[in-house]
Amino acid sequence: MHEMSIAEGIVQLLEQQAVEQQYRRVRTVWLEIGPLAAVETEALRFCFEAVTRDSLAEGARLEIIELPASGWCLGCASQIEIRQRYDSCPACGSYQVQVTSGEELRIKELEVD
């Protein structure tokens, strides 16, 4: 379950930023996650709750913003929305689609004290 290491990495980043930006407590974390990031959001929520115990983010809400995935079709030169890797182009049927977004996993915003 790599969601545990992702949650641990988020807490480490929060602690580093707390020192740099001088906050004591994290109330809410907004994460942007693309469908191609291979992250199970419910597992990440569970892991986040577990790793934030006894930390500056204990009790913090985890808000997940699900982003769409898109790609560039090399066959018809179109920007398309995709649901998963190796989807065909809905316009021309080509499988030569280069992913341009949807792999994101980043902290978008924090609410802190």
DSSP-assigned states of every residue in 50-82: HHTTTSTTTT-EEEEEEPPEEEEETTTTEEEEE
At 62, the pLDDT band (50, 70, 90 cuts) reads very high
* Predicted local confidence at residue 28, as pLDDT: 98
* Predicted local confidence at residue 57, as pLDDT: 97
Domain that holds residue 25: 2-112
CATH number, domain with residue 33: 3.30.2320.80
How many Å apart are CA 98 and CA 69, to the nearest integer?
11
Q: Is the pLDDT confidence value at 1 over 70?
A: no
Lookup: tokens for 93: 């049927």
Mean pLDDT for the chain overall: 96
Residue type, 98: Q
Q: Is the pLDDT confidence value at 60 over 80?
A: yes
- pTM for the model stands at 0.86
Please give the tally of structural domains in the chain: 1
